[in-house]
Structure 1
Amino acid sequence: MSLASIVIPAHNEASVLPATLDRIARESIAAEVEVVVVANACTDDTAEVARGFASRLPRLSVIETDTPGKANALNLGDRATTAFPRIFLDADILLGPGALPGMVDLLSVDAPLVGSPVIRFDLTGADRWVRAYYRVFEQQPYLTDGLVGLGVYGISARGRERFMEFPDLMADDLYIQRLFEPSERLRTRGEFIVRTPRKWSDLVRVRTRVERGNAQIAAAADTLESGHDYGRTSVSSSRSLIETLATQPTMIPSALVYTGTVLTAKARAKVCGDHWGRDESSRIMDGSHSGATRIAAHAQAPGHDRVACLASQSTPSSNAGSMASLG
C-alpha cells in the first residue's frame, strides 16, 4: 500500500525534470510513494527522462498524451493514482529535504485539508527590478495568508472530495486554494524553491499570465463549486501594501516597481491572447543548484504555448505611478 501519490504534469520539461525527480528519490519514503509523470504534448524526451528514474522510484508510472493543457494532464494523473495524500507538483519545482514527508505526515488525516511547504524564492541572476518586485511580493496576503500553490500543494483524501476534476483554468493553484478555508490550509515542514525570472521583461510576461488567470477564475465563478469565494483580491492586496509602507517607508522604491509591474501586466492582459507566459530564463541550468526551478507566479496555464504578446524590454520606472488594483 502506498503512503501517498504525486502527480507531475510536464510539457517539454526534459531539462528540469531530472532535478525534480532526484529530490523525490532522495527521500526515505520514496519507494512507498506513487509518482505519476504526465507528459502532455511533448516534443522533447520528457517521457524517456522520467522513465530513467524507474530504478530509484519503483512506483513510478509515465503517461503520454497528445492532448495539450495542464488541466488535462492533472486529471489524467489524478485518475491514475490511488493513494492519499495526493500531491500535485510542477515539473520544475525542487522540494527541499523533508518537504515530501512533511506534506505526507500532516495531510494523512481524516479531515479536508490542503497544504504546502514554505516557499523560498531563488533570485540568482535576477536584475534589480525583479529583486525590487519580490521584496514587496513576498509580503502580499497571497503568500502570507495560507499560501497554496506556486508549484506544489498536497490534498488529503477528504479534501479531494471538494471537487470533481480540475476545471480548464489557468489558475489551478488559486482554484484549489479557494476551495479551502484559511483554517484548512496547512503550512507543512520543509521548503520548496521557486526560481524567479531573471529580467523584468520576463517578469511582466509571467505576471500577465497571472492577471489572465485571476480574471478567468473570477469570470468562471458561477460554473465552479458553490460556496467558495473566487473573486479577486485587489482590495486586500492594496491594503496590505499601504500598511507595509506605513511601517517600512524604505520599501517605497520597491513598491513603485511592484505597482508598475502589476499595472503593466494588467494592461497587457487585456490585449494579449490566451497563451502560456512561460519564462525560459528560469529554466537555464547553472551552478547555483542541481536544476532550474519554476517561475514565480501564482497562476498556471492550461497549455504551455509560447506567449505571443511579449513584454517590453524597458525598465518599469515609467509605469510606477499608481498603487491601486494590485491583486
Structure 2
Amino acid sequence: MTRASVLIPAHDEAAYLPGCLAALLASDDVAGRVEVIVVANGCTDDTAQVARGFAAQAQDRGWTLKVLELAKGDKLGAWNAGEAAASGKVLIYLDADVTVTAPLVAQLAEVLDTDTPRYASGTPRITVPDDPLTRHYTRFWRTTPFLSRGVPGFGVFAMNRAGRSRWDNWPDIISDDTFARLNFTPQERFAVPASYDWPMVEGFTRLVKVRRRQDIGVAEIESRYPHLVAHDDPPGGTPPVWRRALRDPVAFAAFCAVRAAINLPVLRSRDRWVRGR
C-alpha cells in the first residue's frame, strides 16, 4: 500500500516547480511507497512537461510521479482531482512554490500513521525578498499569534484518511488551508520539527492584495462554516501588540501600513484568486 501521496496543484508554475520537485525527491526515505501527483490546472506554460521531466528521478528512488492536466485553473478542483487519483494512507498537500527539507515527508507520514483523525504540518521558514518594506512587514507578522503558536499549515499541510473523511469534495472557497486546519481541533493538529521554505510576496501593492484575499478567505469560512471557528487556537500565549510594537516600531509601522491599505478601493482586485506573483 502507498504510504503517502503528495499532491501539488500547479497553475503556470513552470518556473517554481523544478525547485519544488527537486527538493521533494531529495527527501529522506519513507517506510512504504510514496507517490507524487502534480495537477496542472489551466496552464498556459509548460508546467505539465516540466513535471513529467522528473518522472525518471522519482522512479530511481522507488517513488512514482503522475501528472494530471485540467483545462480549468482551479486549485480546489486540483485538490479534488488529485485526491481521486491518490492511493496513499497519508495525504500531503504541497504548493508548487514551497521547498521542503529532507526530513519533512517522513516526519509527516510518521505522525499521521494512526487510525485517529490527525492533521500535521512542518515548521515554516519564511523567505523574504530584498525589499525593505516586505522585510519589515514580515518581521512583525512573524510575531503574530497565527505564526508563533499552533500549526498554521500554509504552503504545506497533511492529514490521514480518517481526517480527510470529515468532508466530501473540497468546497469552492478561497482559504483552503484555513478550511483544512479548522476541520481539526487543536489537539488533533501536530507540528513536526522539519521545516519548509515558503516565499513571502514582495512589495506594498502585492502584500495588500494578497493579505486582503486572505482576510476575505477567513471571513468566508466564518460565514459559511461557523462551527469550524471553535476549532481555532485559544487566545493567549504571545506578548500583547503594544509590547511587540515597542520592541520593533519600524516593523510595526510597516505592518500597520499594509493593514490600513487593505480597504483602499484603488488596490482592490476583482480576481478572488489574486496571487502575489
TM-score, normalised by the number of residues in structure 2: 0.89
Change (3 A) 1:147 1:28: closer
Q: Look up the match of 2:155.
A: 151
* 2:106 is aligned with 1:109: no
CA distance in 2, matches of 1:213, 1:230: 17
Return 108-117 or 199-208, whichever deviates more. 199-208
CA distance in 1, matches of 2:76, 2:49: 22
* 2:272 is aligned with 1:275: yes
Instruction: Please state how far the C-alpha of 1:200 moved relative to its aligned partner.
Output: 2.1
Instruction: Please state how far the C-alpha of 1:256 moved relative to its aligned partner.
Output: 2.3
CA distance in 2, matches of 1:248, 1:171: 28
Aligned length: 272
CA distance in 2, matches of 1:194, 1:246: 27
Q: Which amino acid aligns with 2:204?
A: W
CA distance in 2, matches of 1:266, 1:35: 40
Q: Which amino acid aligns with 1:249?
A: L
Contact kept? 2:186, 2:232, Cα under 8 Å: no
Q: Look up the match of 1:129.
A: 133
Contact kept? 1:211, 1:269, Cα under 8 Å: no
CA distance in 1, matches of 2:246, 2:70: 51
Contact kept? 2:6, 2:91, Cα under 8 Å: yes
CA distance in 1, matches of 2:253, 2:10: 35
Change (3 A) 1:232 1:155: closer
Instruction: Please state how far the C-alpha of 1:114 moved relative to its aligned partner.
Output: 0.6
* 2:53 is aligned with 1:29: no
Contact kept? 1:107, 1:155, Cα under 8 Å: yes
CA offsets 1:105-140 (integer angstroms, 9 cap, x no match): 111112111111101011131x22211111111121
Question: Structure 1 segments of 4 or more deviating over 6 A?
Answer: 230-233, 239-242
Q: Look up the match of 2:39.
A: 38
CA distance in 1, matches of 2:232, 2:121: 22
Contact kept? 1:118, 1:192, Cα under 8 Å: yes
Instruction: Please state how far the C-alpha of 1:65 moved relative to its aligned partner.
Output: 0.8
Q: Which amino acid aligns with 2:103?
A: G
CA distance in 2, matches of 1:253, 1:271: 25
- How large is the RMSD of aligned CA atoms in angstroms? 2.6
Instruction: Please state how far the C-alpha of 1:218 moved relative to its aligned partner.
Output: 2.2
Q: Look up the match of 2:240.
A: 243
Counterpart of 1:215 (choices 216, 219, 227) is 219
CA distance in 1, matches of 2:244, 2:183: 33
CA offsets 1:55-110 (integer angstroms, 9 cap, x no match): 12231111101022110011000111011210000111100121111111111112
Counterpart of 1:201 (choices 196, 201, 205) is 205
CA distance in 1, matches of 2:268, 2:202: 24
Q: Look up the match of 1:4.
A: 4
CA offsets 1:280-303 (integer angstroms, 9 cap, x no match): 2xxxxxxxxxxxxxxxxxxxxxxx
Instruction: Please state how far the C-alpha of 1:247 moved relative to its aligned partner.
Output: 6.0
Q: Which amino acid aligns with 1:119?
A: P
CA distance in 1, matches of 2:155, 2:51: 18
Matched-pair identity in %:
30
Change (3 A) 1:39 1:230: farther
What are the residue-to-residue correspondences of 1:230-309 with 2, within 5 Å?
243-246=240-243, 249-268=246-265, 271-280=268-277
Larger % of strand: which? 2
Instruction: Please state how far the C-alpha of 1:241 moved relative to its aligned partner.
Output: 8.2
Change (3 A) 1:257 1:97: same
CA distance in 1, matches of 2:205, 2:238: 23
TM-score, normalised by the number of residues in structure 1: 0.76
Long gaps (5+) in structure 1? 281-327
Change (3 A) 1:232 1:128: farther
Q: Look up the match of 1:14.
A: 14
